[in-house]
Structure 1
Amino acid sequence: MSAVAQRAVSGEFEAHTADGAVLRGCSQGEGPVLLLVSGINGTAAFWDDNAATLARSFRVLRFDQRGMGSSTRGTARSTIDQLAQDCLAVLDAAGVERAVLLGHSTGGCIGLSLARQAPDRLAGLILSGSWLKQNRYMSALFETRLAILDQHPRAYAASATLMAYPPTWLEAHWNVYESAVANAPATNEERQIMRERIDALRSFDGSAWSASLTLPVLILGARDDMVVPAFLQDELAAGLPGARKTMLDTGGHYFPVSRPDAFTANVAEWISEIAARAAPTGS
């Protein structure tokens, strides 16, 4: 296995990768295992509310990705394939052979890579607000973000947050905006890690192999998402034959946060369905 397994203490555990990164995660609940993989900011905290709800039905694993939150950087470059390997380290450290992976945004790209590299480790894949390959819209978006990141990190965090949520929701939850700006990447190292993650996304392209994936897939999106527009969910569905696609009318890019009830209900229902299909039938 790619990590030294360490049994959870009070729900917390560490995964140690071959290049020296220490990935800090936590486990909640009991039942079928659900691994949550967050987006560009890479922290377990993104899932706080969702995890509390999902842990009523599942064993929920989540973690800070390398160089993010409380996890250390390691020496390997943060490519999408490497971040997928890190997910294997987390599963190994938690003593889990197979899990459903739920990845939001960047986490969906990571999930697709893991499904290609180690399909036997996944019972299913949920792609939330994610995409299959670069396009002109997202290329321009990432180029703009990089330019802002280099010149004004607080403006980078502010603009990213303003685009990620429906305006009415954000107005009513202004502390989310204030927290994001307060935690903007302040040091050169933090900005370098973010640049590296954005470069990884700009290089990701699953279109050549996505159709060969045979595991169950659920695609979730929001029609008002301005970061990963709804047409990219259509492209994902076209590239993943047999995948189910469910679109929320509202919620913005961070619809798992702004629409938690609808989000967790769709996730729980789909996992229950694929579990029922996989269960052996009686004689």
Structure 2
Amino acid sequence: MKADGSFEVALPDGARLRCWSEGSGPPLLLVSGLGGTAGFWKGASATLSRQFRVLRFDQRGIGASSRGSAPCTIAQLAADCLAVLDAAGIESCVMLGHSTGGCIGQALGTMAPERLRGLILSASWLRPGRYMSALFGARRAILDPLPEAYAASSALMAYPPAWLEANWPVFEAAVAAAPQTPEARQIVRERIDALLAFDGSADAGALTMPLLVLGARDDLIVPAFLQEELAAALLEPTLILLDSGGHFFPNSRPDAFTAKVAEWIGML
């Protein structure tokens, strides 16, 4: 591990994952959504690492992590999480998965329940349904011909309008980071396909670790009714829906988000 807490995990298929470990205390694995970046958690990690050992990583093909040759499926991304835990020497942890990361968390909880002492499903869902299938199908359709429009639409839907108006550099940075190369767009495309193919309904009731479903009522990407459907399928979860914050409420409501996470983990 380097001085900045970063380390790499080499996977059998040739992928190399760039990871970061921050703070000390009970281990907390943060797994981001469609974007797949460790950077999504930078603000939350700075706060949560005061109480926990926080692990975050760029998922395969994203940021500083190489793609490898394995198919991109939710199950494979869950196996990647296990490799990160193994490399960090962590036998069990609380995992917090946001959006697609929540699907990865459900898969990990099914695959290796003994590795999770708790699972937080943030802005996530049980199965995509018609609304999400139509939304991500439309986003996928504009990805290749209009990558800037893809990035712009993502940011516009991810945050409350008033918050984004007051924090416009967030929008500008999202558009500047649009997937311009064919390789970058292929990574996004296969990740959209993976999330649309996920259906956790057969296994949700068998997740026996403590569970928190955490979301926002004004989420346009994963509407509250989908988060309530997820909670209804789980075994005695805690359900917390913030009144506002949009899909990226960990960034737009950082104090409320980190407080709810820390409070819930503290009760385990």
TM-score normalised by the chain length of structure 2: 0.99
Match in the other structure for 2:130: 136
Separation of aligned partners in 2, 1:240 and 1:150: 37
Structure 1 residue corresponding to 2:67, chosen from 73, 77, 99: 73
Separation of aligned partners in 2, 1:182 and 1:234: 34
Match in the other structure for 1:241: 235
Identical pairs, percent? 66
- Say yes or no: does 1:49 pair with 2:49: no
Separation of aligned partners in 2, 1:27 and 1:180: 25
Q: How far off is 1:88 after superposition?
A: 0.6
- Say yes or no: does 1:152 pair with 2:151: no
- Say yes or no: does 1:189 pair with 2:177: no
Match in the other structure for 1:125: 119
Q: Which secondary structure state, in structure 1, belongs to the residue aligned with residue 241 of structure 2?
A: strand
Judge conservation of contact 1:222–1:250 (CA < 8 Å) in 2: yes
Judge conservation of contact 1:15–1:23 (CA < 8 Å) in 2: yes
Q: Which secondary structure state, in structure 2, belongs to the residue aligned with residue 151 of structure 1?
A: coil
Judge conservation of contact 1:8–1:27 (CA < 8 Å) in 2: no
Q: Which secondary structure state, in structure 1, belongs to the residue aligned with residue 17 of structure 2?
A: strand
Separation of aligned partners in 1, 2:40 and 2:233: 27
One-letter amino acid matched to 2:16 = V
- Say yes or no: does 1:163 pair with 2:157: yes
Gap runs ≥5 in structure 2: none
Structure 1 residue corresponding to 2:168, chosen from 167, 171, 174: 174
Question: Where do 4+ consecutive residues of structure 1 move more than 6 Å?
Answer: none
Q: How far off is 1:94 after superposition?
A: 1.0
Separation of aligned partners in 2, 1:272 and 1:17: 33
Q: How far off is 1:86 after superposition?
A: 0.3
Kindly report which structure 2 residues correspond to 1:270-281, keeping only aligned pairs within 5 A, or say none: 270-274=264-268
Match in the other structure for 1:261: 255
- Say yes or no: does 1:15 pair with 2:15: no
Q: Which secondary structure state, in structure 1, belongs to the residue aligned with residue 144 of structure 2?
A: helix
Match in the other structure for 1:277: none
Q: How far off is 1:177 after superposition?
A: 0.6
Q: How far off is 1:8 after superposition?
A: 5.0
Structure 2 residue corresponding to 1:211, chosen from 205, 212, 215: 205
Structure 2 residue corresponding to 1:115, chosen from 96, 102, 109: 109
Equivalent pairs counted in the alignment come to: 268
State the Cα RMSD in Å.
Answer: 0.7
One-letter amino acid matched to 2:238 = R
Separation of aligned partners in 2, 1:70 and 1:259: 27
Q: How far off is 1:10 after superposition?
A: 3.0
One-letter amino acid matched to 1:139 = S
Instruction: Give per-residue Cα distances to partners, 1:168-210, cap 9 Å, x unaligned.
Output: 1111111111111001001101101110000001100000111
